[in-house]
Structure 1
Amino acid sequence: MGYTQYLPLIERKLHTGSFVYRIVQHELRSGTELFNTRAGSKCVAIVGLSGRFPGAGSVEEFWKNLLNGQDFVKESRFNLEEFYDASHKKKNSTAARHGAFLNAPGMFDHRLFNMSPREAAQIDPLQRLFLTTAYEALESSGYHPDATLSTNRNRTNTYFGQCSDDWRDTLPGSDLGTDIYYIPGISRAFVPREGIGVVILKRLEDAVADNDNVLAVIRGAARTYSNTATSMTHPSSEAQERLYRQVLLQANMAPNDVSFIEMHGTGTQAGDFAEMSSVLNTFAINRSRDNPLVVGAVKANIGHGESTHDPRSFHVISISGKTQKAIFDNKKRLLSYLKNHPKTKLADLAYTTTARRMHQSLRECFTGQSTTEILQQIDASIKSQRSTPSTGTGNIAFVFTGQGSQYAGMGRDLYETHTEFRSLLEKYDSLATNQGLPSFLRLIRDNSLDITSQSPAVAQMALVAIEVAMVSLWDSWGIRPDVVIGHSLGEYAALCVAGVFSVSDMLYLVGTRAAMLEDKLTAGAYAMLVIRAGPKEVQQALVINGFNSCQIALQNSPNITVVSGLMADIDNFRAYLAQI
């Protein structure tokens, strides 16, 4: 028999069976790359995947495009006139006018990843796409954190490769990669191809134990180096053949067991000749007519990427999302899937959407005895949501109050009775303390606390944290503002809700500002005075009477002005105003 990784087990069985045997050591056995100290079959299962490809927003759509023979290499979507130079003499130029591009690569659900719109806009598009496709791949795998030993958060690793950073380069190209490739009918030049792919890997034993949907099994992997090539960039067919034989030995397979090979396809005479020669010399020898070897390469369709090469019973289907719109979109996706896969088993659908999903705070459930019944319910729900008229009488505005409105125990009842609200405030408090700021939770939990004993930083952070937490809570109920406005300290909360900065940034700004005031000013030495008059009249009264320490702090309305200054001057100014 040939090389196998089960040699110790086979030897033990032969010995206990009193067989006469002789083990011949394989010449490549000493190669450390052939062995893995991990127990089990040493096979790796692919249990989930996702991706974005030119002309395809999913793996399923990509496969349909390949079956239809569609070509997505086209004129560049970028304005290349300033950089195009067929002679290559111009610095930072390109000789290509074609590429393979993603559809809407900038689409990103920032709320799903707890980002503000401004923060999301500043992130590399590649990182946004990776976050999205990684989440989709985990959903595809049915991943649920800490559900089993293999899905424990501490046992999960992420490996991500990127070949270029064209988003910040001066050469106009794609967001995700610029590569050299030759396609018939298009001159040889730089042809950008955008794409990203993510796979979820598990030990095969773990995947079987967790009842995962195993899409493929990786039985071997290796790499090699060449000392027979004519140059560093020239490929070696001998080295490639040696690599193929090495992987076949790992997998305990014969060359004729392989029926399809996805080629690298460099698009160069030297590269393609070397690759095809090595494949034919290894896999095409002594094959019968009923066991053909098929080779192919998808690069002709999408270009070359550097980095991305039972008894009837009721079942419950659950659809979740972080917002009402997210649930609506997820319902549409599931409806489309069920229409394209009408033979989907109801039990599989129920199991996947309930036990094998990372559920968000909002959910919508459907029950039925058949997949068709569930499909009809989802379709009706979508149509009902589209046709439901708005019950509002106009736009919704949220107004955020400023300091002075805080008190001990504010928000306490909601904090104690509503899990999501409590979780948000505890998260915000953690964000504050992680930045070296004081905790503000006690001011919310203890209504007997003396508010005057608390620092301005504690009181002010508690106020804006409650305001932002209330917005998140209302959002989960489908109530979202069209406009926001803040008064004084409430402006920070309004800016946060509007997406100008994150909750962490808001707490840092509010807490640090308050701490600076504590450090620079004397407690109890200053005061504020609300005056029923316009700012022009108030300013004249301040100047004429020499209240130099007093300044206009706020203009609450055309006829309400707030003045701040030393407490003694504020008292004298108030006495002066009372006389006129």
Structure 2
Amino acid sequence: MANDEKLLNYLKRVTADLHQTRERLRKAETATEEPIAIVGMGCRYPGGVTTPDGLWDLVADGRDAIGGFPEDRGWDLENLFDADPDAIGTSYVHEGGFLADAAEFDAEFFGISPREALATDPQQRLLLETAWETLENAGIDPSSLADSDVGVFTGVANGDYALTVDQVPDGFEGYLGIGGAGSIASGRISYSLGLLGPAVSLDTGCSSSLVAMHLAGHALRSGECSMALAGGVMVMATPGGFVGFSRQRGLARDGRCKSFGEGADGTNWSEGVGLVLLERLSDARRNGHQVLAVVRGTAVNQDGASNGLTAPNGPSQERVIRQALANAGLTVADVDAVEAHGTGTTLGDPIEAQALLATYGQNRPEDQPLWLGSIKSNIGHTQAAAGVAGVIKMVQAMRHGVLPRTLHAEEPTSKVDWASGAVSLLSEARTWPETGRPRRAGISSFGVSGTNAHVILEQAPEADAPEAETDEAGTPGLVATGGVVPWVLSAKNPAALRAQAQRLVNHLESGSDVNPVDVGWSLATTRATLEHRAVILATDTESGTATTRALAEGRPDPHLITGQTGADGKTVFVFPGQGAQWVGMGAQLLQTSPVFAARLQECAEALAPYTDWSLIDVITGAPDAPSLERVDVVQPATFAVVVSLAALWQSVGIHPDAVIGHSQGEIAAAHVAGHLTLPTAAKIITLRSQTIAHHLAGHGGMMSLATPADTIDLTPWHGKLWIAAHNGPNATVIAGDTDALHQLHTHYTDQGTRARIIPVDYASHTGHVDTIKNELHQTLADITTQPGTTPWLSTVTGQWIEPDTLDHGYWYRNLRHTVQFEHTIRTLADHGYRTFIEVSPHPVLTTAIQETLETTTTPHTTVTGTLRRDDDTPTRFLTHLAHLTTHGHTPNWPALYTTTNPHPTPLPTYPFQHQHYWLTRTSSAGDIASAGLHDPAHPLLTAAVHLPDTEGTVLTGRLSLAAHPWLADHTVSGAILLPGAAMAELAIRAGDETDTPTLEELVIEQPLALPDSGSVDIRVVVGGPDESERRDVRIYSRAEDSAQWTEHATGTLAQDTAAPPPPAVDEWPPAGAESVSVEGLYEQMAEGATTTGRPSRA
């Protein structure tokens, strides 16, 4: 090669390498500067706020959310308040911003035991529920994120929950450490949802949640995660913050933050939790997620060695604002408003205002001042959750085009030189000014130790409404053509399912203009599918709402299907023989299901070479079509219909793990399993049925008997009648000569046994078939098979079909041998198959399948059909699909919705079923001893004392739902009652104190009811011994505000006695015992007004 050519090739390589390097550099620079989208939000804040919309309503209405101290946390409210700021251990403020439901949590939903829930910091519990709601608000099924690289960044600046007890209760030592650790807050979310991205808990004081957003943005841009939950939480388990700040005189006397107002006299503490879901903007658009707002830039810095560790620093605040603007590529004039830190202190507010005036207040158009406000004037200072509260507020403000007013700031503070820049306080609400560019707002948070954060938000870019991921160019799905839409709801338990339905009804009746297709799509794809399920078949929004209301109210409805998932199992397609046919079967689906129609047309083409009639004419009942009473018509037509129905099932994501067929149904099974091509299967079904028509028709018959096969004596009709099929424990088919068959029919009907003559005039599976053996072998001699793709269990042999066993002779044996259907069902059940779908125009085998499964030990089985006689509508098919869905299957929803062009629509979030979990102070054993008592070491009894005069003993305790939340799980007719077993245990424990541990008798005379709030004192009194050393025992109670004792139970305690020997049992279960299913037992009890929670269940 010439030197010139070598040089040319070298320059080409260098040029190509340089181009690639530049492209990589461009992508890297773009990634570091890409805006971050906010695609979801969730929150809980004072004033009953439980949603971002609720927070907007509060600030837009100008409401004040400050209220009195909580009464359910064990605080010493009588002695906590003192107007003297120097009074040690007190607060001169008696109001704050509190979450009324901070102690409430749905432990069962997250798989957390009641004990662990009680030991877990409510901040962690609130983050779990809010994270779930944030994802649902983003239109994302939280369970779909398992094993994905989603990150969690949470600010947690408090951890005093474990300090609420003087001593660790028994059994809690292993939980309090983890339950109270701030580092667990983010990790618990990741653990519960299966998220694999970074999980970071951080504490920079009041700037924690904005710092969390800042770090989350960096993680997204660097590729450490694809999405991130970011925010913060604050719950005050003790009043320590109020007491400590009272000594510093830093609290406002009236508990209100008067941000930048002339009357500002201090801050006040509040609680809350807020999370946002962040995603790279390009990813959000590509994934079809709604963009609520864009994070254009963030910055974090520190005061350093300033004028005090906790004192705010103006120059640092200016620097963090300028850095955020630089990171966003914006100027000060590009930002319209700032949601300020604005704590209402006489030191902090003026410093912050001057920093804003020095930055945003400069170089602005005269008619475009920076508008200044703070949500702390509404809800107080929510500390680690404060910054994200401002973010949610400003996202909502940009979406609504309104800047809400700041409360308690009618007159701006005179401590600020407002004339030094263009900054105006929002003392009144204002329409967001139009500037010809996207709306933008800054949010500031400054930590007590000097960590400052600033975030710049931008109005979401205009974009097409998010569209569902369906193939709009594909075959129209059944929702598009069938006129009915499935709405899927699910929950962890029946109560939550009803609550979910009620929320949806409220949403649909709120005036929202919703499309039923959008509702169905969003329910199916943006919500987790949980154990308890319901499907509403809606023809329009009004009908869907009515059926949903029936679910909420616990009423049945013809368009409502409910169920509960069981153990995982495999699915079987069951293809019937003759008997499922009816005139017009499949005609409706031919018009409404393109999938069914296309497959039926393929079957018609495969049958055509062997028939002189049109399949489509037979299906539609054309005037010149042959009758289905002809065996050579009904068998091919039924074959075509069931094969097409199988295609319909598979098109919606329901695929068989195995197939079986009954008699001629094995031909369809063989084709669906992949052993026979469609032309080959069509040849077998047509030629064989024609042979039957020519030689067997008119010479025999068949009859079904509702009795076990082993009880049928055919000796009198030997050679004339045969057992044709073992269908089930009480389902047998007899076939043979017509006269003998009618004699047998009379014999059994006279005995009261149900017998039915099947409308056929030939006798399959009998000696009659021997006459056509040679002809069938010749006719089908050239049949070829293939290995197959789906397991097929033969009802001829009872064995799994292997390629080398499926010769042309099999199709003679299939017609001649007895159908071993019951045996086949048992084999499948033993091999882990749990779902049986009869793929037929009418169910003829489902009863036999169910009866067979009921005689096995197989749990959680599901049996369903496909169509019904005279009902082949999409609604009928979707009803059976709904039955499968409610019992654990997940359809291919995009296929059902193809060409409907659905759009995700906002829906209510999950209705968590809360119980109260809050650790309260308990008296220590040392305190009991100092009173002359001893600790009985019992969860319900706190002290015991022996009586010298009677030689008796008294044990005392105090019951309350706050201290013993598990007691709330036992209710009868709405009343919370101490379980009878607990009373017996109290008596036995009392007997331990007096060496009489045997409870011989206990008569419960009156139930012991527990109040929803407050407590009940209990006494267990053991009397002195009688001559046989037996003692009386009595159980009493009284309300905490009552002097009247009520006797609940009396009994007798005795010393140890020899237990009688257990009864001899030679076998188990004993002979004659009847197995009773306990599935759904507790749900049935609940319907009868008795509920029993998990701690009380067997």
1:93 equivalent in structure 2: 90
Percent identical among aligned pairs is 27
Q: Distance in 2 between matches of 1:326 and 1:220?
A: 41
Match of 2:236 among 127, 152, 174: 174
Q: Distance in 2 between matches of 1:222 and 1:323?
A: 45
CA displacement at 1:374 relative to structure 2: 3.3
Task: Name the SS for the 1:46 alignment partner.
Answer: strand
Residues 1:165 and 2:227 aligned together: no
Q: Distance in 2 between matches of 1:40 and 1:107?
A: 41
Cα distance change on mapping 1:298 and 1:415 into 2, 3 Å = farther
Q: Assess if the C-alpha contact under 8 Å between 2:66 and 2:255 holds in 1.
A: no
Q: Distance in 2 between matches of 1:65 and 1:290?
A: 29
Q: Distance in 1 between matches of 2:541 and 2:366?
A: 42
Match of 1:116 among 110, 113, 117: 113
Cα distance change on mapping 1:372 and 1:38 into 2, 3 Å = farther
CA displacement at 1:373 relative to structure 2: 4.4
Deviations 1:215-236 (A, max 9, x none): 2221211112235843232222
Cα distance change on mapping 1:375 and 1:110 into 2, 3 Å = same
CA RMSD between the two structures = 4.3
CA displacement at 1:211 relative to structure 2: 0.9
Deviations 1:374-406 (A, max 9, x none): 33432343245399xxxxxxxxxxxxxxxxxxx
Deviations 1:114-156 (A, max 9, x none): 1233332232222221211112112222334685xxx462412
Q: Rg bigger for which structure?
A: 2
Q: Assess if the C-alpha contact under 8 Å between 1:265 and 1:271 holds in 2.
A: yes
Match of 1:214 among 269, 287, 291: 291
Task: Name the SS for the 2:79 alignment partner.
Answer: coil
Q: Distance in 2 between matches of 1:165 and 1:499?
A: 25
Q: Distance in 2 between matches of 1:242 and 1:221?
A: 12
Match of 1:46 among 32, 38, 48: 38
2:508 equivalent in structure 1: 338
Task: Please tell me the residue identity of whatever aligns with 2:376.
Answer: K
For residues 499-538 of structure 1, what are the structure 2 equivalents within 5 Å? Answer: none
1:320 equivalent in structure 2: 490
* Bigger mean CA deviation after superposition, 230-239 or 366-375: 366-375
Q: Distance in 1 between matches of 2:373 and 2:267?
A: 22
For residues 27-46 of structure 1, what are the structure 2 equivalents within 5 Å? Answer: 39=31, 42-46=34-38
Deviations 1:90-123 (A, max 9, x none): 5543332111111222222221111233332232
1:305 equivalent in structure 2: 382
2:58 equivalent in structure 1: 65
* Bigger mean CA deviation after superposition, 192-201 or 310-319: 310-319
Match of 1:416 among 829, 832, 840: 832
Task: Name the SS for the 2:489 alignment partner.
Answer: strand
Residues 1:156 and 2:122 aligned together: no
CA displacement at 1:413 relative to structure 2: 5.6
CA displacement at 1:64 relative to structure 2: 1.2
Cα distance change on mapping 1:221 and 1:209 into 2, 3 Å = same
Q: Distance in 1 between matches of 2:28 and 2:99?
A: 38
2:732 equivalent in structure 1: none
Cα distance change on mapping 1:227 and 1:138 into 2, 3 Å = closer
* Bigger mean CA deviation after superposition, 228-237 or 329-338: 228-237
Q: Distance in 1 between matches of 2:102 and 2:91?
A: 22
Cα distance change on mapping 1:414 and 1:239 into 2, 3 Å = farther
Cα distance change on mapping 1:238 and 1:157 into 2, 3 Å = same
2:353 equivalent in structure 1: 276
Task: Please tell me the residue identity of whatever aligns with 1:377.
Answer: T
Task: Name the SS for the 1:159 alignment partner.
Answer: strand
Q: Assess if the C-alpha contact under 8 Å between 1:191 and 1:303 holds in 2.
A: yes
Cα distance change on mapping 1:344 and 1:499 into 2, 3 Å = same
Task: Please tell me the residue identity of whatever aligns with 1:353.
Answer: L
Q: Assess if the C-alpha contact under 8 Å between 2:43 and 2:274 holds in 1.
A: yes
Task: Name the SS for the 1:49 alignment partner.
Answer: strand
Q: Distance in 1 between matches of 2:165 and 2:57?
A: 33
Task: Please tell me the residue identity of whatever aligns with 2:379.
Answer: I
Match of 1:77 among 64, 70, 73: 70
Q: Distance in 2 between matches of 1:174 and 1:263?
A: 23
Match of 2:280 among 196, 203, 222: 203
For residues 290-439 of structure 1, what are the structure 2 equivalents within 5 Å? Answer: 291-309=368-386, 314-340=484-510, 342-368=512-538, 370-385=540-555, 416-418=832-834
2:325 equivalent in structure 1: 248
Task: Name the SS for the 2:551 alignment partner.
Answer: helix
Q: Assess if the C-alpha contact under 8 Å between 2:97 and 2:270 holds in 1.
A: yes
Q: Assess if the C-alpha contact under 8 Å between 2:284 and 2:291 holds in 1.
A: yes
Cα distance change on mapping 1:89 and 1:300 into 2, 3 Å = same
Deviations 1:314-347 (A, max 9, x none): 5433211111111111112222233335124444
Cα distance change on mapping 1:88 and 1:320 into 2, 3 Å = same
Q: Distance in 2 between matches of 1:60 and 1:240?
A: 30
CA displacement at 1:213 relative to structure 2: 1.8
Task: Name the SS for the 2:152 alignment partner.
Answer: coil
1:134 equivalent in structure 2: 131
CA displacement at 1:414 relative to structure 2: 8.5
Q: Distance in 2 between matches of 1:68 and 1:342?
A: 21
For residues 463-474 of structure 1, what are the structure 2 equivalents within 5 Å? Answer: none
CA displacement at 1:195 relative to structure 2: 1.0
Cα distance change on mapping 1:198 and 1:357 into 2, 3 Å = same
Q: Assess if the C-alpha contact under 8 Å between 1:96 and 1:189 holds in 2.
A: no
Q: Distance in 2 between matches of 1:218 and 1:554?
A: 76
Q: Distance in 1 between matches of 2:113 and 2:86?
A: 43
CA displacement at 1:370 relative to structure 2: 4.6
Task: Name the SS for the 1:71 alignment partner.
Answer: coil
Q: Assess if the C-alpha contact under 8 Å between 1:40 and 1:205 holds in 2.
A: no
Q: Distance in 2 between matches of 1:146 and 1:53?
A: 26
Cα distance change on mapping 1:82 and 1:414 into 2, 3 Å = farther
Task: Please tell me the residue identity of whatever aligns with 1:50.
Answer: G
CA displacement at 1:247 relative to structure 2: 1.0
2:1087 equivalent in structure 1: none
Deviations 1:159-191 (A, max 9, x none): 222111232346998339947665574486784
2:303 equivalent in structure 1: 226
Cα distance change on mapping 1:96 and 1:376 into 2, 3 Å = same
CA displacement at 1:251 relative to structure 2: 1.3
CA displacement at 1:38 relative to structure 2: 8.0
Deviations 1:452-495 (A, max 9, x none): xxxxxxxxxxxxxxxxxxxxx99xxxxxxxxxxxxxxxxxxxxx
- Structure 2 residues without counterparts, runs of 5 or longer: 1-17, 20-26, 167-234, 257-264, 387-466, 468-479, 558-827, 836-856, 859-885, 888-964, 968-999, 1002-1055, 1064-1098
CA displacement at 1:304 relative to structure 2: 0.7
CA displacement at 1:368 relative to structure 2: 3.6
Q: Distance in 1 between matches of 2:143 and 2:495?
A: 28
Task: Name the SS for the 2:301 alignment partner.
Answer: coil
CA displacement at 1:271 relative to structure 2: 0.9
Deviations 1:210-269 (A, max 9, x none): 111222221211112235843232222222122112111211222222122111112212
TM-score by length of 1: 0.56
Task: Please tell me the residue identity of whatever aligns with 1:116.
Answer: S
Q: Distance in 1 between matches of 2:1058 and 2:530?
A: 42
For residues 466-505 of structure 1, what are the structure 2 equivalents within 5 Å? Answer: none
Deviations 1:63-102 (A, max 9, x none): 2122222112122134422333444555543332111111
